[in-house]
């Protein structure tokens, strides 16, 4: 038993020492890469940079930042597009549109656009006084392979997104699929720029503008008819219309021949009597249903009611409309956002 315990201890000790030795910070004479990183890492094979700081973490972060700065504005990507793309990855939306498990793994590895994928800290040196130095490198061939695979995966996603029937295309889901294709194409431009700076070759990659244009063309074929019973000077219509226009959809208060989508709203204002209260009160009640007329389905319902008071009936009514406008801009907009978010491409 004792021999066995000693053996286990020795194995653990050796394993620990081996791991620790790989993570050790070099000391002693200054390595050549501190003054000239390309004296050790050939420009034909690597892009490299150094950084220094008062501790190892700062030195490594500065080295990676210096490495990224080589790419300059090429590494800039629209934050809105990046956020949408990352969210789609995190939520698993992308999984259904990528054909192979290997590609799904590669796409999921895209966690940030601030750092270069494939970049690594190769060496760290401490000057035995107060500064740490780090060498960050990206092997060109490795980087080209990683970003080319991501581009191929995204091209596959785009192809799957825009392949649909005419009925599927001319719908809210069709609009979102084309918009997602546009975002994915924009991300591919970012990947292509990285590949080029890594001395790699890639096919021409265009931005997502043509997919955005097609999304706008679809929107024009499916204006949303908003019918409001008992509106007040079009104020409720304007509030509801804004929620749709924020997503890029067009709306109409006029009857539309066979509209694909309709929002039927009923508003009711009524006086409220509160004995022994000097103010005058009104109550507003709103009910609304967003319908897909093709399937005759209610996509989601909305309702709101509130009581508001003032010294006159007209002002009490006005305050009710104001309360409704605020709720439409918040609650209805949230319901619409949730619905459209659920429509984000699912295969």
**Environment class of 1 (CB within 10 Å of its CB; exposed 0-12, middle 13-18, buried 19+):** exposed
Where residue 90 falls among pLDDT bands split at 50, 70, 90? low
pLDDT tens digits, 111-145: 455 567 889 999 999 998 899 999 999 999 999 99
Strands (DSSP E) contained in the chain are: 46-53, 119-126, 132-139, 224-229, 251-252, 261-272, 280-292, 297-310
pLDDT (0 to 100) of residue 273: 83
* pTM for the full predicted model: 0.74
% pLDDT > 90, the chain: 47
Region of poorest pLDDT, from 31-35, 90-94, 310-314: 90-94
pLDDT tens figures, 300-319: 999 999 999 888 999 999 99
> For 36-69, how does the pLDDT look when each residue is reduced to its tens digit (9 = 90+)?
999 999 999 999 999 999 999 999 999 998 988 8
- pLDDT score of 275: 83
pLDDT band at 167 (very low <50, low <70, confident <90, very high): confident
pLDDT number for residue 308: 92
pLDDT at 113: 59
Structural domains of the chain, ranges and CATH numbers in brackets: 23-216 (no CATH), 222-342 (3.30.160.150)
- The residues that bridge with 285 in the sheet, in sequence order, are 268, 305
Average pLDDT over residues 208-228: 91
Q: Is 92 left (phi over 0), alpha (psi -120 to 50) or beta?
A: left
Q: What is the model's pLDDT at position 116?
A: 77
pLDDT band at 10 (very low <50, low <70, confident <90, very high): very low
| pLDDT of amino acid 207 | 86
pLDDT at site 75 = 59
10-14, 62-66, 256-260: which range is least confident on average? 10-14
Q: Indicate the DSSP class of residue 251.
A: E
Fill in the DSSP letter of residue 30: P
pLDDT in tens, 193-210: 889 989 998 887 788 999
Rounded Cα distance, 4 and 203, in Å = 60
Query: What pLDDT sits at residue 341?
Result: 78
Distance CA 297, CA 300 (A): 9
Q: Do 87 and 183 contact (CB within 8 A), yes or no?
A: no
Strands 251-252 and 297-310 turn out to be: unpaired
């Amino acid at each position: 038993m004792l021999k066995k315990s000693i053996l286990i201890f020795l194995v653990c000790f050796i394993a620990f020492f081996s791991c620790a030795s790989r993570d050790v910070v070099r000391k002693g004479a200054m390595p050549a890469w501190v003054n000239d990183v390309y004296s050790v890492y050939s420009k034909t094979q690597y892009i490299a940079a150094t950084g220094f700081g008062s501790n190892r973490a700062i030195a490594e972060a500065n080295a990676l930042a210096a490495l990224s700065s080589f790419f300059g504005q090429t590494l800039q990507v629209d934050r809105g597009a990046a956020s949408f793309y990352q969210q789609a990855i995190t939520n698993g939306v992308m999984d259904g549109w990528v054909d192979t498990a290997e590609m799904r793994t590669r796409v999921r590895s895209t966690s940030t656009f601030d750092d270069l994928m494939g970049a690594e800290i190769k060496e760290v040196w401490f000057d035995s006084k107060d500064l740490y130095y780090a060498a960050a490198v990206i092997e060109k061939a490795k980087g080209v392979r990683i970003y080319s695979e991501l581009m191929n995966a995204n091209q596959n996603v785009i192809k799957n997104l825009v392949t649909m029937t005419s009925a599927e295309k001319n719908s809210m889901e069709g609009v979102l699929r084309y918009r997602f294709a546009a975002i994915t194409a924009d991300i591919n431009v970012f990947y292509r720029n990285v590949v080029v700076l890594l001395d790699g070759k890639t096919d021409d990659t265009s931005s997502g503008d043509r997919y955005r244009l097609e999304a706008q063309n679809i929107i024009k074929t499916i204006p949303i008819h908003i019918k409001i019973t008992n509106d007040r000077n079009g104020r409720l219509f304007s509030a509801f219309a804004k929620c749709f226009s924020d997503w890029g959809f067009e709306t109409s208060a006029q009857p539309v021949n066979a509209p694909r989508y309709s929002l039927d709203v009923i508003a009711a204002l009524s006086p409220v009597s509160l004995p022994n209260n000097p103010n005058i009160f009104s109550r507003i009640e709103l009910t609304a249903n967003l319908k897909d007329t093709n399937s005759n389905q209610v996509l989601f319902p909305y309702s709101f009611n509130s009581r508001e008071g003032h010294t006159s009936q007209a002002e009490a009514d006005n305050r009710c409309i104001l309360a409704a406008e605020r709720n439409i801009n918040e609650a209805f907009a949230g319901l619409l956002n949730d619905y459209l978010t659920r429509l984000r491409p699912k295969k």
